[in-house]
Structure 1
């Protein structure tokens, strides 16, 4: 079954009357085509962003020719345990676009093919240098994340990955052999590309929420109270402040975005933050406002997981963390609802 819409019963988004008394309706379409309406007192949208990847184009829109080249473009980390996919990438020139942990995962996965099958890997970075893309290494408080960065760095140092930095893709063309040519805004090219793995992040799909009243930040498409706390121009994963139902609420009563979708286009989400969001929302819906306002979270602040906004500037690339340097130990942060005692 698929949720195709959420609304207030008997009212589109324009109608004021009854928005705090009528239930919400969740419109569901089943695999056999049957449709269903489910009434609900509250809706928590934790649907994520995985199915709505960002394009290759450097301006947030598909590059010229990108749509026509989808036969050679993959918008997720390829599963190279699948024999068909492994054969597709073996011995080919693969361009990996992106600078986050998905990109590092793709690079590490393809490294085995580079060693055994002669796969050539080009790493397309929009930022001007690799900088601290590899993260905190052995100092990362999330060990698996640190190990991933170290493995990707080793692949680059071994010459298995060619880094192409400062490359913002403007167009995707085909050469006389049918291979792809990636062209940047400044006229540089990456030529004879067999396959492109685009792992440039994700964005929320808000189309099926068009009839409920959301209040979203104009830049991040995150709830307006949450946006300044997660802005990737300022924050990395570990410097995002704890938050809960209050910051996630919208003008539509009892409608919440939670998890990765609540972060809009900010790439700094950690699963532990989502768990705390849902706990706070559940407490609010149960009427326990003291528990909803009390958010306790231990954040793993070492390691790097910032967005392009944070790392675009050369000064940020050159630093070990910019304004967001990590403390030596994780810090327990608690936010409590203000006391009503006088």
Structure 2
């Protein structure tokens, strides 16, 4: 089966006349960044199609109980806001900080309703290539359409596209607990006792109450998990909580505090500092996990020079990594260390930049060797944890302007982000 747009489908841009696309622009992922891309494409009257392997904003739904760090004004895309308001939507209080649930239900789901004809949910993209052309063939490559293969239940479908915007994010592809970055069979075997997301502890009291729990990770996601467990311990005092980090000093994980322009993010570190002073939890740092073993008494963590445990449950908040498997037949470049888009990597290096110090970037920096193929959103940052949704919105605005032939708008990249002393979070950057 093929989905095609006839050659007379056209778009008109504000500054550069009109353009033609034979096939739609394909957006992979119906999260905040993918839906923002759709809104910008619609504003230029460019044809598009959206593929989502689950339901709309399914990743956001997985952390709907968590409050974001940034207020509504940073989390609503400009083109999305415009199209929603034309259809009677009212912007929430821009200074309020939404939960994942509010973000999804009050913004992303209403936005997706405007793209019902273009949206294919529960349809996973399993491969993308070029028509009659494998990765090695160069002849007339740029002029050939993309071929997209999808899986919907048992059915495999094929679509053609003139451009690809990969907004699949990283949230569903977590890093392992082991410090060497490899998911060993022993860790896989213990997954029934491991949560790689920020758990909804109040909704799963029986799983965590009065249990021996280790939280692994040195970012704000880990702190979010710890704060929930500390509240649980107040009601269930036999709960034992251990925080395991690789940092030389636990203070290095506490963030910018009062210097953070996102007050909610700074507040997490301040709360954690107080808890540490009260010695409510145990801390193991630096501890480099080599492997995890499930014994009769519980989970044992083997480190470089010692073992710790046993634990009944592990919460692993060690970040996420991109999945490139379905684009392996395309020509793309990523940094060998961060797995970020190559030109973007030095701009977002987490050793040098926080969320708020990332410089403006757009189509020019995100351009790939494969013409009209783009990796956007948190996936464009690879394994770097410094992504904010506002960054992704500006990325897709610039890319869509370029696809529409609006060169001036594509190059006019502007970004205003809140400053912070540190940014290691799975939230404001997870939602693809």
TM-score (norm 1): 0.84
In the other structure, the counterpart of 1:198 is 316
Q: Which one of 350, 362, 372 corresponds to residue 232 of structure 1?
A: 350
Q: Which one of 353, 359, 366 corresponds to residue 241 of structure 1?
A: 359
In the other structure, the counterpart of 1:300 is 418
Identify unmatched segments of 5+ residues in structure 1. Answer: 308-342
What CA distance in whole angstroms lies between the structure 1 residues aligned with 2:189 and 2:157? 36
What CA distance in whole angstroms lies between the structure 2 residues aligned with 1:173 and 1:30? 37
Residue 238 of structure 1: how far off its partner (Å)? 1.9
Runs of 4 or more off by more than 4 Å in structure 1?
Answer: none
Q: Which one of 209, 217, 220 corresponds to residue 101 of structure 1?
A: 220
Q: Is the 8 A contact 2:262 2:419 kept in 1?
A: no
Cα deviation 1:70-99 (Å, max 9, x = unaligned): 2211111111232xx220111001000001
In the other structure, the counterpart of 2:325 is 207
Residue 279 of structure 1: how far off its partner (Å)? 0.8
Cα deviation 1:157-189 (Å, max 9, x = unaligned): 2222211111010122244x331111211x222
Residue 63 of structure 1: how far off its partner (Å)? 5.1
Q: Secondary structure at the match of 2:261?
A: coil
Q: Is the 8 A contact 2:220 2:424 kept in 1?
A: no
Matched, 1:10 2:132: yes
Residue 302 of structure 1: how far off its partner (Å)? 2.1
Q: Is the 8 A contact 1:9 1:22 kept in 2?
A: yes
* Structure 1 vs Structure 2 CA RMSD: 1.6
Q: Is the 8 A contact 1:64 1:172 kept in 2?
A: no
Q: Is the 8 A contact 1:76 1:199 kept in 2?
A: yes
Q: Secondary structure at the match of 2:269?
A: helix
What CA distance in whole angstroms lies between the structure 1 residues aligned with 2:324 and 2:316? 22
Matched, 1:180 2:337: no
Tell me how many residue pairs correspond in the alignment: 302
TM-score (norm 2): 0.67
Distance 1:115 1:81, change over 3 A: closer
In the other structure, the counterpart of 2:396 is 278
In the other structure, the counterpart of 2:152 is 30
Matched, 1:71 2:192: yes
Identify unmatched segments of 5+ residues in structure 2. Answer: 1-122, 426-432
Q: Which one of 211, 215, 225 corresponds to residue 92 of structure 1?
A: 211
Tell me whether 283-292 or 155-164 shows the greater mean CA deviation.
155-164
Distance 1:30 1:283, change over 3 A: same
Q: Is the 8 A contact 2:381 2:387 kept in 1?
A: yes
Matched, 1:126 2:239: no
What CA distance in whole angstroms lies between the structure 2 residues aligned with 1:133 and 1:18? 51
What CA distance in whole angstroms lies between the structure 1 residues aligned with 2:160 and 2:134? 15
Cα deviation 1:65-124 (Å, max 9, x = unaligned): 212222211111111232xx2201110010000011111111111111111112111000
